[in-house]
Amino acid sequence: MEAIPSNLVDQLVVPGDVILYLSNMANQTLKFLWSLGAEALRQDGDSICVMKAGKLRFMKPNKYWVESS
């Protein structure tokens, strides 16, 4: 099961978008790939927010990043 809704993957995300509420997770581990653009994602309290516009990408098992030019 993916932690972030699959309808967000490969979609354009913009600063301020909340892609995940951590309280909705049940013992799942996520990896945000810093070298591939995870600096565009930030934990803000109980949520993961977008800080840089681009496409939200996913790689199994639970790796996420924002791809931008």
Q: For the chain, first and last CA: distance in Å?
A: 29
pLDDT, position 1:
45
Task: For residue 42, list its beta bridge partners.
Answer: 49
Show the tokens assigned to 46. 């109980």
Q: DSSP state, 28?
A: -
pLDDT, position 10:
93
- Residue range 56-64: mean pLDDT, rounded: 83
Quick: pLDDT tens for 1-55: 456 777 889 999 999 999 888 777 767 677 666 545 557 888 888 888 899 999 9
Of residues 7, 27, 29, 30, the one with CA closest to residue 17:
7
Confidence of residue 58 (pLDDT cuts 50, 70, 90): confident
pLDDT, position 42:
86
Residue 2, C-beta contacts closer than 8 angstroms, at least 6 positions apart: 9, 58, 62
Q: For residue 59, is pLDDT > 90?
A: no
